[in-house]
Amino acid sequence: MIFRAVIFDLDGVITDTAHLHYQAWKETAAAIGITIDPTFNARLKGISRMASLALILRHGGKERAFDEAERARLAARKNARYGELLASLDSRAILPGIPALLDALAQHGIAVGLASVSLNAPFILDALGLRARFDYCVDASLLRHSKPDPEIFLTACAGLGVAPEQAIGIEDAQAGIDAINASGMRSVGIGDDLQGAGLLLPDTGALSWRCLQDFWSTPPRADAPVN
């Protein structure tokens, strides 16, 4: 199978905004008497805004205390604060290894996609100065299912005009690795606590054109997840 595309997650792969999401959620949760800590926050990686709020309310034993309209207000409050925290974002926040990899992918004619559930993704790519480097970005507002459902990666493949079997997905969240594997793409995980990644790298600094090529030319492991 020919290697034709790489589809990136955003938060934790292109840039790291997890601490800003955490700060904004922490303040929003505190305002309704719920305390969250970094360990809990790790569970929100790759999870959509409303699903994150639902987890926080459950964590605080308050899942029945807020109706839909109140939840929408809480999510809007969190997002407004997150937007304030994002204001200083610029190209210095691009994670190591990413600019060189994007250059190499362009040089070799590999299509580049973005599969982020963040509704702020277009703004973040603009702030990082990277929007033009992506051939297709999934519009998260049109998705029916969140990661670990493969919908977002399948939508990205369709948008790029490639088959999932011709693409690599790169993710830092378990829900994302599960989504990539379920799509029929090959998965690269960033971090140390991910199950089922076809290739697991400690951080984005270890990503390179060479390592993706080597990975592509290695047959999937016999114990790799069945797609």
Active site residue 11: yes
For 67-99, b/e burial (b = at least 16 CB within 10 A) is eeeeeeebbeebbebbeebbeebeeebbbebbe
171 is in an annotated binding site: yes
Neighbours of 115 (CB within 10 A): 33
Q: How far is the CB of 107 from ligand G6P (least distance, A)?
A: 29
Answer with the entry of Mg ion, ligand G6P, none that 172 interacts with (C-beta below 5 to 8 A by kind).
Answer: Mg ion
117 is in an annotated binding site: yes
| Residue 80 is a binding residue for ligand G6P (CB under 6 A) | no
Q: How many residues bind ligand G6P (CB under 6 A)?
A: 15
Active site residue 193: no
Torsion of CA 96, 97, 102, 104, to 10 degrees: 150
Neighbours of 38 (CB within 10 A): 10
124 is in an annotated binding site: no
| Residue 119 is a binding residue for ligand G6P (CB under 6 A) | yes
- Find the DSSP H helices in the chain: 18-31, 38-41, 49-59, 68-86, 98-107, 121-128, 151-160, 174-183, 209-217
Tokens for 46? 């790759």
Q: Which residues bind Mg ion (CB under 5 A)?
A: 9, 11-12, 46, 172-173
The C-alpha atoms of residue 197 and residue 187 are separated, in whole angstroms, by 5
Instruction: Determine which residue in the list 8, 13, 36, 45 makes contact with ligand G6P, applying CB under 6 A.
Output: 45
* Cβ atoms 81, 28 nearer than 8 A: yes
* Cβ atoms 181, 225 nearer than 8 A: yes
Q: How far is the CB of 214 from ligand G6P (least distance, A)?
A: 28
Instruction: Determine which residue in the list 117, 156, 199, 201 makes contact with ligand G6P, applying CB under 6 A.
Output: 117
47 is in an annotated binding site: yes
Tokens for 21? 């999401």
25 is in an annotated binding site: yes
Q: How far is the CB of 13 from ligand G6P (least distance, A)?
A: 10
Give the CA count within 13 Å in the CB-facing half-sphere of 100.
12
Q: How far is the CB of 177 from Mg ion (least distance, A)?
A: 10
Of 106 and 119, CB closest to ligand G6P:
119
| Residue 76 is a binding residue for ligand G6P (CB under 6 A) | no
DSSP state of 150: T
Q: How far is the CB of 150 from Mg ion (least distance, A)?
A: 16
Residues in binding site: 9-11, 25, 44-49, 52, 78, 116-120, 147, 171-172
Which positions make up the binding site for substrate? 9-11, 25, 44-49, 52, 78, 116-120, 147
Q: Which residues are tagged catalytic? A: 9, 11
